[in-house]
Structure 1
Amino acid sequence: MKTEYSLSRTRNIGLIAHIDAGKTTTTERILYYTGKIYRLGDVDEGTTAMDWMEQEKERGITITSAATTCFWKDYRLNLIDTPGHIDFTAEVERSLRVLDGAIGIFCAVGGVQAQSETVWFQARRYDVPRIAYINKMDRIGADFFGTIEMMRSRLLANPLILQIPIGSEKNFLGIVDLVEERAIIYKQDDMMHFETSPIPFDLEMKAKEYRQKLIEQLAERDANLMQRYLDNRRISPEMLKKAIRKETLKGKILPVFCGSSLKNKGIQLLLDGVCDFLPSPLEKPSIQGINPVTNLKEERKTSDEEKFAGLIFKTLNQPCIGKLAYIRTYSGSLKSSSYIYNGNKRETERVLRLLRVHANKFEDLKEIHAGEIAAIIGLKFTTTGDTLCSEDFPILLERIHFPIPVVSVAIEPKTKSDQEKIGFSLAKLAEEDPTFKVKVDRETGQTIISTMGELHLEVLIDRLVREFKVEARIGKPEVAYRETSTRTATGEAKFIKQTGGKGQYGHVQLEIEPVKLTDIADPQWKENLEFENKMRGDAIPHQFISAIRKGTAKAMECGELGGFPVLSLKVSLLGGSSHPVDSSELAFEIAAAMAFKDAYRKSKPIILEPIMKIEIITPEEFMGEVIGDLNSRRGRIEKTEIRGRNIAVGGFAPLASLFGYATALRSITQGRASYSMEPSRYEMVPKSVR
């Protein structure tokens, strides 16, 4: 393999965390210590390397996942910094889909926060091995061991403590390395170096205790280590590292590091941990896919000798460059100025340029290889989730599934000039962001846009103005309601039209039945209908079945109660009839829509509303008012727990009751509380609030 760095020394990793856990600051330090940048930026000043969008600089948060490549010792690190705000969860989802490992960053004060929990289980769903980094050990209220306990209780993790802090808050001086049995002391005036010394006398007993626990935890899973432990023989750091790596790759343990990224403490050891304990592309299982020709399962090994297969996990429109398509290659190699096949679109694409990415800066590559992450310029038809492969040996990898948006608003251009540009601009934004949806209301003709939340909406509107020079009026945010059935029902319809000459004939019998409402925050959940052909015989020719499915899907876009999309239904084709001359795809599409409407009216439909999982962190003196206010918003309190010097209140509430909640909470708590929320599920709208 003619790659710059061997795959065994390549790490494709991401940083995941709750907002404000210090993820971007940690990334900035990683880039500094690996020599990728030579001057540290600051999140508050909007000068960090990875937060390059104007909206990120102004708000001090990460909005879009940013990729870079850096080098530590003799390892190549392909790094993706992901957003921490729930409104931008699509960026986390698509990043985790293509990563081999991840660093979970936790605030030593806040512990395991709401979005930390969300991204953790996203990573678990994709079987991404992780290590944990407890950041902000210098902050007032930092609690290393309290955060460890929260990892056990909230993440259901098995944390393996590799380090313990020397001091905390303003007295956080360094780290005890339990594996190497040494102390790491950081100097205030020297960012690049640290002192290695014997473990301080006052920490010797604690260090011995936790090293013993570390060995016992590993020995439970490693027979050789257990035997050495029982024989009271020395267990070397190399033996421990080997055992830690093996169990981390299995997902059985969670190695825990600590530090303060802002104070430049702990980053070098964290980088060593990435190299020591997270997998290379070669250690991941062969990628599975479907051959679109034979419809049989296939797999590709991580090797340049295999036929090419890569997944497009992100597209971005860049000024002066055009459309960028980010790709994770799983097998084979791809050269610049070549052609490649899009298996989903069944189109041959021209690869004009291949790029190595550093945030919004780019470096040309001649070729990319198996296991790498890069960007492509020149793809016309390709969108997020598409598979690029060899046309002679096609394969379709599993697409990336995204959560559905829950907030909708009407949008209209301010001027005639804006009217000409707004459609194109919204389409470009929707192409980049799978959780941003655009549709035209059939009755009013209004353009309706749907997003993951109010912040998501604000950012998109700001991008319309800055990037596309489009001014627009925005309506009041509304809840994205849905409809569903509550009982099984059948429907039948005939569409017959005679206008002279060839007519139209379609006859369809359908059955609809409700299916269990699932977690809308889970990207594996799909809004599409579940369709089954139960028809016996050939009363309807096979070529019209897809038209029946299409007609049913179109009918589900607009329910009977409020015109909201219908979800969570299984639709079965029971029968029908056809005409040898007059039947057509259009006739059966219309008949299917009519039959669905007939069945749906009989099925006792209901309106559903999105329910949000919410967590509020508040000083204890305001807890009663916070709970009372949440109850008044139809909220349900699930738990309260002590979180450092504050109280964490967790529960669920309808999104319809939470618009403007930030202002209300600020008023109740004198600006001393914070909250986070995320979509949880759909529930029936109570009759009392309809």
Structure 2
Amino acid sequence: MTLLNILRSRTCLKFANDFGLRSQYKLARCYSDDNKYAVHAPLNRIRNIGISAHIDSGKTTLTERILYYTGRIAEMHEVKGKDNVGAVMDSMELERQRGITIQSAATYTVWKGYNVNIIDTPGHVDFTVEVERSLRVLDGAILVLCAVGGVQSQTLTVNRQMKRYNVPCLAFINKLDRMGSNPYRVLSQLRSKLNHNAAFVQLAMGLESNCKGVIDLVNERAMYFEGNYGNNVIIDEIPQDYRTEASEKRQELIEHVSNADETLGDLFLEEKVPTVDDLKAAIRRSCLKRKFTPVFVGTALKNKGVQPLLDGVIDYLPNPGEVENIALIERDGQETEKIDLNPARDGKSPFLGLAFKLEAGRFGQLTYMRCYQGMIKKGDNIYNARTGKKIRLSRLVRLHSSNMEDVNEVYAGDIFALFGVDCASGDTFVTDPKSNISMESIYVPDPVVSMAIHPANTKDRDNFAKAIARFTKEDPTFHFEFDPDVKETLVSGMGELHLEIYAQRMEREYNCPVVLGKPKVAFRETLVAPCEFDYLHKKQSGGSGQYARVSGILEPLPPHQNTILEFIDETVGTNVPKQFIPGVEKGFRKMAEKGLLSGHKLSGLKFRLQDGAHHIVDSSELAFNLAACGAIKEVFEKGGWQIIEPIMAVEVTCPDEFQGVVMGQLNKRHGIITGSDGAEGWTTIYAEVPLNDMFGYVGEIRSSTQGKGEFSMEYSRYSPCMPELQQRLVEEYQRSQGILTDEKEKKKRKN
């Protein structure tokens, strides 16, 4: 039995007293299997970490091993294993089927007396907001890198997110057992591509199928992982054939840490050999300041290197008290004041928490929160700082993937969840609603892809509405809107996979199959040059008739106003009585709803009513309405019309090496490059591209830039479309109206 197991036994209290081990006995008892997860550890014994990486780097597998070695789960399962169970952190059925993480999942465990809160995040770029909001509330992170793939596209994104929230990290080079693994190349990329001051704290003993264990460079020892699941960590001397390399890499480690830490730098300059404690303390100090990244190695799938990585989390990543957390106090007419939060777990400071994620649970909305200051108990009242709403805490839970475990109180530094709280992601909760205190919200990237969506069966509309309401509330990057111009409902997201996953979830969770398709573009029709009209509407065949005459000019507005319609009454005298003018305007706007060229709306037109005529008996508002409609048809026959299309201001960010490729793609899509700038190896290209040519661009830019390119776009203006596009749109409309038959079309093509 290990010493900890001996101390757990009640019969060993006398043994503990005799050997002066009473405090260790208490510690061991409080972390016994029965109640160890309910204990609120002191602040310095808490770690809040995230596991982030590019897709398929082994994040979920690593989390599974961590939970197994810390005793949180009884057995391990593979992400896409043959036993159809799947990893515990992939609780959604879709995640297990596809073998990817879609939603970030939280859990907590205990390692060597330390409470470790873990959030496993998705790797796919489409679910980047899950990583964003997780890193917002975490104190440290493990950046997982594949020993074969190295620094990949999403690694760059995750690195930028860590930098945004100032999150210290460890690097873990995983998958040493894969063919072609090369941790030295990955370390080189970590330094060159991510600009990290990084060095190995461990060396691999063998690669691919010869991976035996790791060498701990800090403590200068070899570690082997024996047993079926690598449970038994055997510590031994460094093998003879690795000693030279270990000595060189340890010296390299000391040099890199000396560049980041003043204390160790002084020892290095004095040519003194630092002790193990000196080196550990220096690594910790420089890691907390994000000036140094310790690099661990291993293979989670083959159960090697996970336990020392956990030791690294304890040794080098910060506790909640070592991280600067700032709140804002806003008062009317005064500048926003910044205050440092007190993370002490004494419960004396007022409570302050941040809601960072929402999820629909079995018992209502589940709100994930991080407590930054103070403490709360079950039954307490808290207030939403944004809305001022009072909330009574009927239940507090801590999460282990999809399982919930009730707790009675929560302290600063804890990650927990509440039920039935109506709030938005990024809301601050306080105990004093008059304090005007709040925390900075979470950065949410803008959606980049839009698709048309509608339920496959009209009878499913209620379920469709419920699903949309839930998903748009849970995910701030998933948008839903009705476009009145094209009469379509549109969903927007971070990529085609993102929208496809939500479509599948609607079918699975709400029994509502949906149809996704390319959205229509809101084209417009306008005049090329001013055109006069003089139209008489006359219907006098006995009884009450209709008589109205309108004359004037229909002219195009300047390009910066080509999305609006103007009506101007320039009549003088009583030829057109003033009570009939609204009828003329209504007729004009009614005809503008659907143009006669391609069926799209008219815009960028000014209707100048200059004269007309009326009949003392037969004229009416309806007659002038119909006269205005006839005038527009007359202008359509006489005038020159063109179709205009929406032009988007596109901003593409990519590494310098792909600048030429990206510009070529934008030119191919009829884009006009308006400018570019660059910094630190990245180029931002500004262009104006027709919206109709932007469909499918997200997949093209990701494939051509190895997934490193990102883009955003927003509406800029309307501009005339290409002649061939106009001809195609006109033909499609005529065919739909039965004007252009196949025979006519064949004859037209022959000519």
TM range (shorter): 0.7 to 0.9
Distance 2:338 2:267 in 1: 43
Amino acid of the structure 1 residue aligned with 2:298: G
Most deviating of 3-12 and 275-284: 3-12
Matches within 5 A, 1:123-138: 123-138=162-177
Query: Any idea what SS the aligned residue of 2:245 has?
Result: helix
* Displacement of 1:337: 2.5
* Displacement of 1:455: 0.5
CA 1:223–1:440: 2 relative to 1, 3 Å: closer
Q: What's 1:318 paired with?
A: 361
* Displacement of 1:240: 0.6
CA 1:465–1:222: 2 relative to 1, 3 Å: closer
Distance 1:366 1:340 in 2: 15
Distance 1:312 1:239 in 2: 39
**Aligned partners of 2:369 and 2:417 also within 8 Å:** yes
Question: Could you list the per-position Cα deviations for residues 607-643 of structure 1 after superposition, in whole angstroms to 9, with x for gaps in the alignment?
Answer: 226566689xxxxxxxxx999999967899x9xxxxx
Tell me if 1:339 matches 2:381.
yes
Gaps of 5+ in 1: 482-513, 515-561, 564-603, 616-624, 639-649, 667-672
CA 1:384–1:479: 2 relative to 1, 3 Å: farther
The total of aligned residue pairs comes to: 542
Most deviating of 264-273 and 186-195: 186-195
Question: Could you list the per-position Cα deviations for residues 130-160 of structure 1 after superposition, in whole angstroms to 9, with x for gaps in the alignment?
Answer: 1100001111111111001101111111102
Question: Could you list the per-position Cα deviations for residues 335-390 of structure 1 after superposition, in whole angstroms to 9, with x for gaps in the alignment?
Answer: 2222211011221123221100011100011111111100001212x110100012
Amino acid of the structure 2 residue aligned with 1:676: G
Question: Could you list the per-position Cα deviations for residues 304-339 of structure 1 after superposition, in whole angstroms to 9, with x for gaps in the alignment?
Answer: 3211111100000013x2110000111111122222
Q: What's 1:107 paired with?
A: 146
Q: What's 2:68 paired with?
A: 32
Tell me if 1:473 matches 2:515.
yes
Query: Any idea what SS the aligned residue of 1:155 has?
Result: coil
Match for 1:166 among 205, 216, 238?
205
Q: What's 2:98 paired with?
A: 59
Percent of matched pairs sharing the same residue: 41
Distance 2:106 2:267 in 1: 43
**Aligned partners of 1:63 and 1:88 also within 8 Å:** yes
CA 1:680–1:363: 2 relative to 1, 3 Å: same
CA 1:156–1:331: 2 relative to 1, 3 Å: same
Distance 2:685 2:666 in 1: 9
* Displacement of 1:662: 7.2
Distance 1:664 1:443 in 2: 28
Query: Any idea what SS the aligned residue of 1:450 has?
Result: strand
Q: What's 1:546 paired with?
A: none
Match for 1:306 among 317, 325, 349?
349
**Aligned partners of 1:108 and 1:136 also within 8 Å:** yes
Q: What's 1:239 paired with?
A: 278
Q: What's 2:186 paired with?
A: 147
Distance 2:136 2:152 in 1: 22
Q: What's 2:425 paired with?
A: 384
* Displacement of 1:195: 2.1
CA 1:56–1:610: 2 relative to 1, 3 Å: farther
Q: What's 2:402 paired with?
A: 360
Distance 1:195 1:442 in 2: 68
Q: What's 1:680 paired with?
A: 711
Most deviating of 292-301 and 394-403: 292-301
Cα-Cα RMSD: 3.6
**Aligned partners of 2:329 and 2:435 also within 8 Å:** no
* Displacement of 1:219: 2.6
CA 1:658–1:162: 2 relative to 1, 3 Å: farther
CA 1:664–1:313: 2 relative to 1, 3 Å: closer
CA 1:111–1:221: 2 relative to 1, 3 Å: closer
**Aligned partners of 1:247 and 1:253 also within 8 Å:** yes
Most deviating of 228-237 and 358-367: 228-237
**Aligned partners of 1:104 and 1:133 also within 8 Å:** yes
Query: Any idea what SS the aligned residue of 1:676 has?
Result: coil
Distance 2:695 2:484 in 1: 28
Question: Could you list the per-position Cα deviations for residues 51-84 of structure 1 after superposition, in whole angstroms to 9, with x for gaps in the alignment?
Answer: 1111111110000000000110011100000000
Match for 1:289 among 328, 334, 341?
328
* Displacement of 1:197: 1.7
Q: What's 1:92 paired with?
A: 131
Match for 1:49 among 72, 88, 100?
88
Q: Which has the higher contact order (CA 8 A, sep 6+)?
A: 1
Question: Could you list the per-position Cα deviations for residues 666-689 of structure 1 after superposition, in whole angstroms to 9, with x for gaps in the alignment?
Answer: 9xxxxxx99536533449899987
CA 1:449–1:612: 2 relative to 1, 3 Å: same
CA 1:688–1:676: 2 relative to 1, 3 Å: farther
CA 1:378–1:480: 2 relative to 1, 3 Å: farther
Distance 1:62 1:12 in 2: 20
CA 1:460–1:275: 2 relative to 1, 3 Å: same
Q: What's 2:500 paired with?
A: 458
TM-score by length of 2: 0.66
**Aligned partners of 2:382 and 2:429 also within 8 Å:** yes
**Aligned partners of 1:450 and 1:480 also within 8 Å:** no
Distance 1:456 1:199 in 2: 48
Matches within 5 A, 1:504-523: none
* Displacement of 1:238: 1.2
CA 1:450–1:142: 2 relative to 1, 3 Å: same
**Aligned partners of 1:3 and 1:369 also within 8 Å:** no
Match for 1:120 among 150, 154, 159?
159
CA 1:252–1:480: 2 relative to 1, 3 Å: farther
* Displacement of 1:224: 3.9
Query: Any idea what SS the aligned residue of 1:83 has?
Result: coil
CA 1:49–1:292: 2 relative to 1, 3 Å: farther
Larger-Rg structure: 2
Tell me if 1:349 matches 2:391.
yes
Q: What's 1:545 paired with?
A: none
CA 1:73–1:634: 2 relative to 1, 3 Å: farther
Tell me if 1:607 matches 2:678.
no
Tell me if 1:71 matches 2:110.
yes
Q: What's 2:616 paired with?
A: none
Question: Could you list the per-position Cα deviations for residues 256-277 of structure 1 after superposition, in whole angstroms to 9, with x for gaps in the alignment?
Answer: 0000000001000000000000
Distance 2:667 2:147 in 1: 30
Question: Could you list the per-position Cα deviations for residues 172-208 of structure 1 after superposition, in whole angstroms to 9, with x for gaps in the alignment?
Answer: 1111111001111233645201322211222111111
* Displacement of 1:401: 2.0
Q: What's 2:315 paired with?
A: 276
Most deviating of 164-173 and 119-128: 164-173
Amino acid of the structure 1 residue aligned with 2:68: Y
Amino acid of the structure 2 residue aligned with 1:679: E
* Displacement of 1:227: 4.2
**Aligned partners of 2:353 and 2:372 also within 8 Å:** yes
CA 1:471–1:68: 2 relative to 1, 3 Å: same
**Aligned partners of 1:479 and 1:609 also within 8 Å:** no
**Aligned partners of 2:398 and 2:416 also within 8 Å:** yes
Amino acid of the structure 2 residue aligned with 1:20: D
Tell me if 1:6 matches 2:37.
no
